[in-house]
Amino acid sequence: MTARFTGARTVHERRRRRLACEGDAAVSLLSHPATTAEASSAPAAAAHAPQKRVLGRVSSLVAPELWKSWVLVAGALCLWLFAAAAPVIVDRLRPELSGLFGLRSGNIGGFFRGVSLLAACQLSFLILWHRTDSRKDFHGRYRAWIWSSLTWPTVLAAHVTGWHATLAARLQESSTAAAALPCSAIWLAPAAILVWTTSRLLLIEMASCGASRILLRMALAALAASLVVQELAVSRSSEAWIVGQGALNTLWPLLAAASLWHHARYVIHVTNEAAPLRQKHGRWKRFSRDVRGELRDMLPTWEGLLERAQPGRRSARLARGLLPFCRRVCRGFLAAMGWVLRRMAGGIGAIGRRAGSSEARVRKSKSSKVRSPAVAPANLVESPALEASTRETVARAPERDGPRSSRKSKRLAASGKGGSA
């Protein structure tokens, strides 16, 4: 069965392959039934027990105990303090080494920042590896870690090679519109969009791990503070500004790596499934909900009023039973009244439409009456041949049609004489 599902392209095909493999395993267990009661209950207990995964060498480096992770984070913060204070100590105690490890060179802080970003890259790949093994992530939410695994190497490459500053300088040389902007403003906007999108996706993925969410938010705050200090500093040549800027630039990668370390511990040793999505409500909805709850608690309920009016238990139960019926009757009455009002409104509209149509007919008939008199053609009055043929038909009509036709012929003859006169 496994060979039939090899080379699956989409997420759903991969899920079907895994479920098929599990189905084969269940069939193999059913084909060999146990003989004793203890042996028959063992597969059921194993099915409900949490499944133990075999960890590799890299995954086993992440300890399952939470306190060990916090101890590691505390040690990393101690190293960060040493990396921030070491250049100042070197400048004051060993001036001959200031060109290599001094405050102006920034080599110690740059090395520490690069190690932190490299750790973040590796942890992102490790989390992605374990998240792709999830069995219930049918919506493919593990793709957020693909984006994270591409973002952190990009930031690391920009830190090591400085390609973002080189690209911004070339854009300034080639474009007149970019020449008016500072060099940092050209690459800062796309970098901010990239980091903010990644952080939002990771915060959604870290919904079940509070420690990783807290550390990631602290990393974002440190990054924002470093950008503010870099852009709004008055005296950039002072020693305090250089120390603060270097400390903030080194702190946010460390906090990001610590956040990914905690989430790697959660994914490896707790669960590798996607966190359930929480339905978010707006501020106005939450405020209205709280106000309604307070009013509901302050105002007396129908049941309480009925119990006060009828203190007996039997009458109170009867009143509680009648409450839904009364509500339904009121709703039905309101619906019937609405139907009657709609019918009345429709009847009034029909009467108005009929009155309008009758007025239109009256206007049309009046306009049709006012016409010019018709003039008979001259050939009908003056033609003697037409008069002779008319008299002949009138004379023959009584012989063919009888007395009724004779009366008609007399009328036609009288009208013909009048016309000829």
Question: Residue 402 falls within a domain, yes or no?
Answer: no
Q: Is residue 345 part of a domain?
A: no
Q: Are residues 71 and 200 in the same domain?
A: yes
In a domain, 365, yes or no: no
Whether 163 and 229 share a structural domain: yes
Q: Domain residues for 165?
A: 59-269
Structural domain contains residue 419: no
Residues 331, 242 share a domain: no
Between residues 280 and 227, the one the model is more confident about: 227
51 part of a folded domain? no
Q: Are residues 323 and 199 in the same domain?
A: no
CA 245/CA 235 separation, integer angstroms: 12
User: What is the phi/psi pair of residue 138, to 5°?
Assistant: -75, -15
End residue of a domain, out of 269, 289, 315: 269
Residue 166, sorted as left (phi over 0), alpha (psi -120 to 50) or beta, turns out to be alpha
Residue whose C-alpha is closest to residue 169's, from 160, 152, 182, 156: 182
Residue 356 lies in a domain: no
Mean pLDDT (the chain, rounded): 73
Phi and psi angles of residue 277, each rounded to the nearest 5 degrees, phi first:
-75, 135
**Count of domains observed in the chain:** 3
User: Can you read off the two tokens belonging to residue 294?
Assistant: 């307070």
CB 103 within 8 A of CB 242: yes
Check whether residue 91 and residue 17 sit in a common domain. no
Give the pLDDT confidence score for residue 15 in this predicted structure. 61
Best CA proximity match to 231, nearest among 211, 245, 246: 245
Identify the band that residue 49 occupies on the pLDDT scale cut at 50, 70 and 90: very low
Residues 11 and 158 in one domain: no
How much is the pLDDT for 219?
94
Between 167 and 293, the more confident residue is: 167
DSSP secondary structure, 364-379, as one string? HHHHHHS-PPP---HH
pLDDT at 301 over 60: yes
Is 148 in the same domain as 86?
Answer: yes
Asked if residues 212 and 158 have their Cβ atoms less than 8 Å apart, the reply is: no
Q: Of 216, 245, 269, which residue constitutes the final position of a domain?
A: 269
> Does residue 25 lie within any of the structural domains?
yes
pLDDT of 291 above 90: no
CA 400 from chain center: how many Å?
94
Per-residue confidence band for 101, with pLDDT thresholds at 50, 70 and 90? confident
- Predicted pLDDT at 77: 93
- For residue 129, what are its two tokens? 């590896």
* Per-residue pLDDT, 47: 42
Residue 86 and residue 209 in one domain: yes
**Domain end marker among 338, 358, 385:** 338
* Per-residue pLDDT, 167: 87
**121-152 pLDDT tens trace:** 999 999 999 888 888 877 788 888 999 999 99
110 within a domain of the structure (yes/no): yes
Same domain, 261 and 152: yes
Determine which of 88-97, 242-251, 303-312 has the lowest per-residue pLDDT on average: 303-312
Residues 120 and 222 in one domain: yes
Query: Do the Cβ atoms of 207 and 276 come closer than 8 Å?
Result: yes
The answer to whether residue 277 scores a pLDDT higher than 80 is no
Radius of gyration (C-alpha) of the chain in whole angstroms: 47
Asked whether residue 28 falls in the same domain as residue 70, the answer is: no
pLDDT at 414: 59
Percent of the chain, pLDDT > 90?
A: 19
> Is the same domain home to 88 and 124?
yes
List all residues 6 or more positions away from 335 whose beta carbon is below 8 Å from its beta carbon: none
Structure tokens at 254: 């460390």
For residue 316, give every residue at least 6 positions away whose Cβ sits within 8 Å of its Cβ, in sequence order, or none.
303, 306, 307, 310
